Amino acid sequence: MNATSEARAPLLEVTGLAVSFATESALISAVTDVSFKVGDGEIVSIVGESGSGKTAALLGILRLTDRRNTKIEGSVTFRGRRLLDLPEREMRRIRGREIGFISQNPMTALTPVHTIGWQIEEQIRVHLNLAHAVARRRATELLDEVGLPNPAKALDLYPHQLSGGMRQRAVIAMALSCNPSLLVADEPTTALDVTVQAQVLELLRRLRLNFGLSIILVTHDLGVVDEMADRVLVMYAGRVVERAPADLIFEDPWHPYTWGLLASIPPLHGERPARLAAIPGTPPVPTDLPKGCHFAPRCRFRFAPCAETPPRQEDGEHAALCFIDPSGRPRLRAQVLNPSSGQAA
Amino acid sequence: MSADSVPAPLVEAERLTKRYVVGRTIMPGSGRALYAVDGVSLTVRPMETLGLVGESGCGKSTLGCCLTRLYDINGGTLRFEGVDITKSSRRELRPFRRRMQMIFQDPSASLNPRRRIGDLIAEPLHVHAIRPRADIPARLRELMDLVGLPAVYLERYPHEFSGGQRQRIGIARALAMEPSLIVADEPVSALDVSVQAQIVNLFTELRERLSLTYIFIAHDLAVVRHVSTRTAVMYLGSIVETGPTDLVFERPAHPYTEALLSAIPVPRARGSGPRERIILRGDLPSPLDPPPGCKFSTRCPIVVERCRSERPQLRPLADGRSVACHFPREESQDLSAQLHASDGKMLVED
């Protein structure tokens, strides 16, 4: 599945991305030092809890924040172009045409006063400059592609006439309307029921397979990550605390926060633990970040050095921001993930 | 099942029905009936946790509100602690109210932003006069301790708390009434996973310490499996399968339960191997116009002609479960073969 070709430049390369928002009193840093690459046909997943900066990072990459009070630093290279340096005019041609966007709530992307067909056609006409009839035919094909029953008829429906799953599919159709090479999906299935989520995830996988679509998938659900992602970024309080190929996130996680996330999910099979290994406390607010390692106040393994910014430990594609020495890692991890026994999962 | 040691049920519902009329005009006889809860029978015994699961719109929250009589009931009977409260008036319900408390998804919606936490928790104590006035401050500190919050927070206002802390306050307020039954409607679904685990642990601890009985309503099956002793699966207003949690999750008998379980993405490190996934086609039918016969027949991977005309009743299986299906897993062990034979309706994932 992993279609990374080392020879060519990646489709998207983000280096040292930082997003901060100006408030009346201070400049609040929402995202610091986020770096990752997305190759052709690759699915990169960003995991994190609310406030971890995953959406802010996406908005920064797409430059969808309000320019007057946000500062975006670092570099974002998409197909050889540096997005952060482009004039807004050109950026507008990339968004929607070369990079598709799906938000968590499909209703934020759909206007209630026009039909689904009108909204998809508008995008095609604006970006690709096609005639009305051609755009309409293309819209019908798209709705068919995303699995809406009776697409020709669905074109004339208004958003309120569709179910949640159907709306999300219409939004996906819209995001795909100009054959983008990258799809950015922010919690695309969080608002959906599990059986509908399964349908939408299946659709995204099929699009990747058939069209080599690259996807940045933001989610808080590690189950979705395991099912979809080739590579994973785990974010906490604005920083990427761990970055690894998906297999390693589940089989050899390095960061105590990743361990905590994995351990706090109740299992669906096998023995039921008496207690869940919850992470104590709550995530910090961006206005009041702890010094040094942001996770330290909730980390059961914190020690004196954690008051300083943790170093990046790296081994190939696997990296984590943590002071824990690799030699001690398996023992500490077992305390979180297999508290009762030394048995490996 | 009916051994001598089995305690008397706390809640007994028989063919409970909640009906709404939609689209009614001034014309007599206009409007169509929507059965949000369609003849549900269930029993909850003391110290048991009944998990109610199902997708949005299946009627699980409506059922929860009917069981506590927050909603009026249109049909069937409801007994609480052995007393028939199906038609009880507000006044008659008063003594029962404090014995059955509800906890909701969004606790902030039920916390008055202009009042201190201490006042908010104390209010029902004053209304129901459970304790002498002088004992209330001590009781408040005790309640805060139970839900794991420092007593100094009693002086603070709701906006000063995080989502997880607010849910703890909601739980403290429910516990103030010394209830025997707590109906929790999606109590952890608005919380981040790391905090969700804290609140789930709190629920299980309190059950042990205070001998509580829960009806735990959630769409997250993993959470329900973790807290429940028995699980009931709902689809379009009816229970399609109910039984001991381990049985329902390990060997689902109803094809809907099976599809629902298989649809959940599970991270592999938690002990599940590659699984076969049943992807249901289409959406939930409109509850205004449920399919004739089995309500699940329009999406069922093993549907046959009989399912489209004859509605299956919830009936007990030998292993202690009840299932509303003409072809439950128990009787046709070879269900998976049938699934594969059902012309591509089932997809096998890698």
CATH number of residue B224's parent domain: 3.40.50.300
Contact A269, B267 (CB under 8 A): no
CA distances from A224 to A17, A45, A171, A233, B292 (A): 25, 9, 19, 14, 35
pLDDT of residue B349: 35
pLDDT band at A105 (very low <50, low <70, confident <90, very high): confident
Task: Choose, out of B208, B248, B270, B272, the residue to mutate when testing the contact with A (most A CBs < 10 Å).
Answer: B270
Residue B156 forms part of a structural domain: no
| B339 φψ region: left (φ > 0), alpha (ψ -120 to 50), beta (else) | alpha
Domain that holds residue B249: 11-99+179-341
pLDDT digits (tens, 9 = 90+) for A19-65: 999 988 888 999 999 999 999 999 999 999 888 999 999 999 999 99
Instruction: Count the neighbouring beta carbons within 10 Å of the beta carbon of residue A23.
Output: 10
Residue B163 forms part of a structural domain: no
* CA pseudo-torsion sign B251, B182, B15, B24: negative
- Contact assignment for B201 to A275 by CB distance below 8 Å: yes
Contact B51, B225 (CB under 8 A): yes
ipTM above 0.90, yes or no: no
Contact A74, A48 (CB under 8 A): no
Contact B256, B5 (CB under 8 A): no
Residue B172 forms part of a structural domain: no
Residue B258 forms part of a structural domain: yes
- Contact assignment for B283 to A277 by CB distance below 8 Å: no
Bridge partners of B323, per DSSP, are B241, B315
d(CA A101, CA A109): 9
pLDDT of residue A4: 46
Residue bearing tokens 């998207």: A12
Which CB contacts under 8 angstroms, 24+ apart, belong to A75-78? A75/A13, A75/A14, A75/A15, A75/A16, A75/A17, A76/A12, A76/A13, A76/A14, A76/A15, A76/A17, A77/A9, A77/A12, A77/A13, A77/A14, A77/A15, A78/A11, A78/A12, A78/A182
Largest CA distance in chain A: 68
Name the domain count of chain B.
1
Residue B117 forms part of a structural domain: no
A160 touches chain B (CB under 8 A): no
Closest-CA residue to B173 (of B261, B219, B110, B229)? B110
Bridge partners of B80, per DSSP, are B11, B83
Residue B271 forms part of a structural domain: yes
Smallest CA–CA separation between B271 and chain A, in Å?
6
- A–B interface: beta-carbon pairs under 8 A: 144
* Residue from the list B55, B267, B280 with its beta carbon closest to the beta carbon of A222: B267
CA A304, chain centre distance (Å): 33
A220 touches chain B (CB under 8 A): yes
d(CA B173, CA B120): 8
pLDDT digits (tens, 9 = 90+) for A224-245: 999 999 999 999 999 999 999 9
* CA pseudo-torsion sign A92, A95, A96, A102: negative
Using a CB-CB cut-off of 8 Å, the residues of chain A touching B191 are: none
The pTM is what? 0.86
Angle at CA of residue A325, ends A323 and A331, nearest 5°: 115
Residue B134 forms part of a structural domain: no
Please report the residues numbered 289 through 328 in chain A whose beta carbons come closer than 8 angstroms to any beta carbon of chain B.
298
- The residue with greater pLDDT, A339 or B76, is B76
